């Protein structure tokens, strides 16, 4: 049976014509992709001038983040090439996806994580999917350096986004957006960490534009956490810090590609503080019913910053043409990192188990 019939809903089946696969490729899929593009009436109203804001909810992928799009291609190609084991460095989402797809492919998965800096939800995923988890006394950048070195000498496939198959898979999110909107958006906003995703989206937008499946290419706006912003500062950050642990990265692998995407699209990279990230996370959940992890909320925080004339913004949203379509990508599910929401739980109202008491307390 071909992959079309076995996995008729994953990104390889949906976009095989645009991916480095053949009928001989053994497809490892969890029916990832085809995530919802949700209209946000409240963000649209904030932007005004007839602009419409859409949220691409990538947290609804099978392991809870956008990484599944790239991992289906990376693991399928690794299997096709005869690899028996894969390795990655991760801030938690890449490792969850690698472990899940490796489990499905009967491959060994080794993950290198910065000790103590992975949210519990993501750590549990790696173990549950059966990965060998190594916590190093260094940060993500150290882990990625080690993975590159090990990949050079050992018969283990590296499935970080330095593996070009990852970006190929991830570019399919641009295709979905174009197909759903009928054209590319005017503005595309997303968080930036290791910079693979911004590079992949740009690849996808360029490809569909060249094929005349869209008539424009969006302005790309990337947001980094203020304490982990190497691309914004154009210098390596030795000790990156942020509550958004997914993007706690000081030396991104796809730095040059991200610079190109920003320059070619006429966009910008800007920073958002941890406070702005957490405020945007809570705002999005409590106003639009979309719960995302902190790193993902940086795209929303970024849009709000671009709208604020009092902020030192790198890009002024007043430059968005009237009636613009704006897509904010939210990359990972909020349940990945529930600890950051603990403060909200302090609002709990305690009561005796009595109807009258409850009615009095809830007003
Ligand atoms: N959002 C989330 C939820 C992420 O997990 C990541 C990256 C990003 C955004 C940034 O994407 O790296 O392509 O610029 N997480 C990687 C990981 C580093 O190991 O899971 P990027």
Q: What is the pLDDT of residues 22-67, one digit of tens each?
A: 999 999 999 999 999 999 999 999 999 999 999 999 999 999 999 9
Mean pLDDT of the chain: 96
Q: Is the CB of 192 under 6 A from ligand 1?
A: yes
Q: How far is CA 325 from CA 39, 51, 53, 180, 250, in A?
A: 10, 6, 6, 12, 32
Closest ligand 1 atom, residue 170 Cα: 13
**Is the pLDDT confidence value at 5 over 80?**
no
Report whether 190 contacts 329 (CB < 8 A). Answer: yes
Report whether 99 contacts 160 (CB < 8 A). Answer: no
Q: Is the CB of 92 under 6 A from ligand 1?
A: yes
Q: Is the CB of 200 under 6 A from ligand 1?
A: no
The CA distance from 50 to 88, in Å, is 43
Tell which one of 246, 284, 336 to mutate to probe ligand 1, the residue whose CB is within 8 A of the most ligand atoms: 246
Q: Is the CB of 299 under 6 A from ligand 1?
A: no
Q: In whole angstroms, what separates CA 349 from the centre of its chain?
A: 35
136: burial class by Cβ within 10 Å (0-12, 13-18, 19+)?
middle
Q: How far is the CA of 23 from the centre of ligand 1 (A)?
A: 30
Tell which one of 160, 247, 329 to mutate to probe ligand 1, the residue whose CB is within 8 A of the most ligand atoms: 247
Instruction: Assign 114 a pLDDT band (cuts: 50, 70, 90).
Output: very high
Q: How far is CA 327 from CA 51, 55, 220, 300, in A?
A: 11, 6, 10, 10
Of all protein residues, the one whose alpha carbon is nearest to atom 6 of ligand 1 is: 246
Report whether 246 contacts 195 (CB < 8 A). Answer: no
**Is the pLDDT confidence value at 286 over 50?**
yes
Tell which one of 55, 59, 74, 91 to mutate to probe ligand 1, the residue whose CB is within 8 A of the most ligand atoms: 91
User: Residue 178 has what pLDDT?
Assistant: 98
**C-beta neighbour count of 338 within 10 angstroms:** 15
**C-beta neighbour count of 115 within 10 angstroms:** 12
What region does 327 belong to: left with phi over 0, alpha with psi -120 to 50, or beta?
beta
24: burial class by Cβ within 10 Å (0-12, 13-18, 19+)?
exposed
Report the share of the chain in percent with pLDDT over 70. 98
Average pLDDT score over residue span 105-119: 97
Please provide the DSSP assignment of 250-273 as one string: SS-TTHHHHHHHHHHHT-EEEEE-
Q: Which residues of 170-187 are buried (b: 16+ CB within 10 A; e: fewer)?
A: bbbbbbbbbeebebbbbb
Q: What is the largest CA-CA distance in the chain?
A: 70
**Is the pLDDT confidence value at 360 over 70?**
yes
Q: Is the CB of 254 under 6 A from ligand 1?
A: no
Q: CA nearest 330: which of 293, 278, 288?
A: 293
What is the DSSP secondary structure assignment for residue 235, as one 8-state letter?
A: S
Q: Is the CB of 197 under 6 A from ligand 1?
A: yes
What is the DSSP secondary structure assignment for residue 246, as one 8-state letter?
A: G
Q: How far is the CA of 245 from the centre of ligand 1 (A)?
A: 9
**Is the pLDDT confidence value at 297 over 60?**
yes
123: burial class by Cβ within 10 Å (0-12, 13-18, 19+)?
middle
**Is the pLDDT confidence value at 354 over 90?**
yes
Q: How far is the CA of 229 from the centre of ligand 1 (A)?
A: 13
Instruction: Assign 9 a pLDDT band (cuts: 50, 70, 90).
Output: confident
Q: How far is the CA of 331 from the centre of ligand 1 (A)?
A: 8
Instruction: Assign 4 a pLDDT band (cuts: 50, 70, 90).
Output: very low
Q: Is the CB of 293 under 6 A from ligand 1?
A: yes
Q: How far is the CA of 351 from the centre of ligand 1 (A)?
A: 41
User: Residue 8 has what pLDDT?
Assistant: 59
Tell which one of 193, 262, 301, 302 to mutate to probe ligand 1, the residue whose CB is within 8 A of the most ligand atoms: 193
The whole-model pTM stands at: 0.96
The count of C-alpha atoms lying within 13 angstroms of the C-alpha of 235, restricted to the half-sphere facing its C-beta, is: 5
Condensed to tens digits (0 to 9), the pLDDT of residues 198-229 reads: 999 999 999 999 999 999 999 999 999 999 99
Q: How far is the CA of 357 from the centre of ligand 1 (A)?
A: 46
Instruction: Assign 7 a pLDDT band (cuts: 50, 70, 90).
Output: very low
Helices (H), the chain: 3-6, 11-15, 41-47, 67-80, 93-104, 120-128, 140-153, 164-170, 172-181, 196-210, 230-233, 255-265, 274-288, 294-307, 342-345, 355-362
Average pLDDT score over residue span 14-25: 96
User: Residue 160 has what pLDDT?
Assistant: 97
Average pLDDT score over residue span 311-319: 96
**Is the pLDDT confidence value at 104 over 80?**
yes
Q: Is the CB of 173 under 6 A from ligand 1?
A: no
Of all protein residues, the one whose alpha carbon is nearest to atom 4 of ligand 1 is: 246
């Amino acid at each position: 049976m071909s992959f079309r019939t076995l996995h008729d809903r994953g990104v390889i089946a949906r976009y095989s014509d645009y991916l480095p696969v053949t009928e001989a490729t053994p497809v490892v899929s969890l029916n990832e992709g085809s995530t919802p593009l949700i209209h946000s009436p409240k963000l649209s109203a904030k932007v005004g001038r007839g602009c419409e804001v859409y949220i691409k909810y990538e947290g609804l992928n099978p392991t809870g983040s956008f990484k599944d799009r790239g991992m289906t291609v990376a693991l399928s190609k690794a299997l096709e090439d005869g690899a028996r084991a894969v390795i990655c460095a991760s801030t938690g989402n890449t490792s969850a996806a690698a472990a899940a797809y490796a489990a499905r492919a009967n491959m060994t998965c080794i993950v290198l994580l910065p000790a103590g800096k992975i949210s519990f939800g993501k750590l549990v995923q790696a173990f549950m999917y059966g990965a060998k988890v190594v916590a190093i006394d260094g940060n993500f950048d150290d882990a990625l350096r080690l993975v590159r070195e090990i990949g050079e000498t050992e018969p283990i496939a590296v499935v970080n986004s330095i593996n070009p198959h990852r970006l190929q898979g991830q570019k399919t999110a641009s295709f979905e957006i174009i197909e759903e909107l009928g054209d590319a958006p005017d503005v595309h906003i997303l968080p930036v960490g290791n910079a693979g995703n911004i590079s992949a989206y740009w690849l996808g937008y360029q490809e569909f534009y060249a094929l005349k499946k869209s008539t424009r290419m969006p302005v790309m706006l990337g947001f980094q956490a203020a304490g982990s912003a190497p691309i914004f500062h154009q210098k390596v950050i030795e000790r990156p810090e942020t509550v958004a642990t997914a993007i706690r990265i000081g030396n991104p692998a796809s730095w040059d590609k991200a610079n190109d995407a920003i320059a070619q699209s006429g966009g910008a990279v800007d920073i958002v503080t941890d406070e702005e990230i957490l405020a945007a996370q809570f705002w999005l959940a409590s106003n639009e019913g979309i719960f995302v992890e902190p790193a993902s909320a940086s795209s929303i925080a970024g849009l709000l910053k671009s709208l604020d004339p009092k902020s030192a913004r790198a890009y002024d949203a007043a430059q968005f043409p009237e009636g613009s379509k704006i897509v904010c990508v939210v990359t990972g599910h909020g349940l990945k990192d529930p600890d950051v929401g603990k403060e909200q739980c302090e609002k709990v109202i305690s009561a005796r188990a009595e109807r009258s008491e409850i009615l009095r307390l809830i007003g």
